[in-house]
Amino acid sequence: MKKQAFLVQNIQETLALLSVDPFQPRLRTHKLKGELKDSYACSLGYNLRIVFKFVEYEQKQAILLESIGTHDEVY
Protein backbone atom coordinates (compact mmCIF):
# COMPACT_ATOMS: atom_id res chain seq x y z
CA MET A 1 0.00 0.00 0.00
CA LYS A 2 2.84 2.41 0.76
CA LYS A 3 4.23 1.87 -2.72
CA GLN A 4 0.87 2.72 -4.31
CA ALA A 5 0.49 5.86 -2.18
CA PHE A 6 4.00 6.93 -3.19
CA LEU A 7 3.21 6.25 -6.85
CA VAL A 8 0.00 8.30 -6.72
CA GLN A 9 1.84 11.17 -5.05
CA ASN A 10 4.66 10.94 -7.61
CA ILE A 11 2.15 11.03 -10.50
CA GLN A 12 0.37 14.04 -8.98
CA GLU A 13 3.63 15.94 -8.48
CA THR A 14 4.81 15.16 -12.00
CA LEU A 15 1.49 16.24 -13.54
CA ALA A 16 1.65 19.48 -11.56
CA LEU A 17 5.16 20.18 -12.89
CA LEU A 18 4.07 19.22 -16.39
CA SER A 19 1.16 21.67 -16.29
CA VAL A 20 3.42 24.56 -15.25
CA ASP A 21 6.47 23.84 -17.43
CA PRO A 22 6.47 20.71 -19.63
CA PHE A 23 10.17 21.17 -20.33
CA GLN A 24 11.30 21.55 -16.73
CA PRO A 25 14.67 19.71 -16.65
CA ARG A 26 13.60 17.40 -13.82
CA LEU A 27 10.95 15.87 -16.13
CA ARG A 28 13.46 14.99 -18.87
CA THR A 29 10.79 15.68 -21.50
CA HIS A 30 11.69 14.52 -24.98
CA LYS A 31 10.00 14.22 -28.36
CA LEU A 32 9.30 10.69 -29.49
CA LYS A 33 9.99 9.10 -32.86
CA GLY A 34 8.40 6.53 -35.13
CA GLU A 35 4.73 5.77 -34.55
CA LEU A 36 4.72 8.19 -31.61
CA LYS A 37 6.40 11.03 -33.52
CA ASP A 38 3.66 13.52 -32.61
CA SER A 39 4.01 12.78 -28.90
CA TYR A 40 6.35 13.60 -26.05
CA ALA A 41 7.36 11.64 -22.97
CA CYS A 42 8.53 12.69 -19.55
CA SER A 43 10.05 10.66 -16.76
CA LEU A 44 8.24 9.66 -13.63
CA GLY A 45 11.11 8.17 -11.69
CA TYR A 46 13.50 5.53 -12.99
CA ASN A 47 11.26 3.34 -15.15
CA LEU A 48 7.89 5.12 -15.42
CA ARG A 49 6.91 7.44 -18.25
CA ILE A 50 4.05 9.74 -19.12
CA VAL A 51 3.34 10.00 -22.85
CA PHE A 52 1.44 13.09 -23.95
CA LYS A 53 0.66 15.45 -26.83
CA PHE A 54 0.24 19.18 -27.05
CA VAL A 55 -3.25 19.97 -28.35
CA GLU A 56 -5.43 23.01 -28.70
CA TYR A 57 -8.45 23.08 -26.39
CA GLU A 58 -10.82 26.04 -26.23
CA GLN A 59 -8.28 28.16 -28.12
CA LYS A 60 -5.51 27.41 -25.62
CA GLN A 61 -2.62 24.99 -25.68
CA ALA A 62 -3.31 21.95 -23.52
CA ILE A 63 -1.67 18.65 -22.69
CA LEU A 64 -3.44 15.44 -23.65
CA LEU A 65 -2.23 12.46 -21.62
CA GLU A 66 -1.91 9.34 -23.76
CA SER A 67 -0.46 6.80 -21.35
CA ILE A 68 1.29 6.32 -18.04
CA GLY A 69 3.32 3.20 -17.42
CA THR A 70 6.67 1.53 -17.45
CA HIS A 71 9.10 2.20 -20.26
CA ASP A 72 8.14 -1.09 -21.95
CA GLU A 73 4.39 -0.50 -21.54
CA VAL A 74 4.24 2.94 -23.14
CA TYR A 75 6.69 2.47 -26.03
pLDDT tens by residue, 39-71:
999 999 888 999 999 999 999 999 999 999 998
pTM summary value:
0.88
pLDDT band at 2 (very low <50, low <70, confident <90, very high): low
Give the residue from 47, 46, 49 showing the smallest Cα distance to 66.
Answer: 49
**CATH architecture group of domain 2-74:** 2-Layer Sandwich (3.30)
Q: Which among 62, 24, 63, 29 is positioned nearest to 43, based on CA atoms? A: 29
Per-residue CA distances from 68 to 25, 37, 58, 59, 75 (Å): 19, 17, 25, 26, 10
Distances (CA, A) of 4 to 11, 24, 66: 10, 25, 21
Residue 1: which pLDDT band, with cuts at 50, 70 and 90? Answer: low
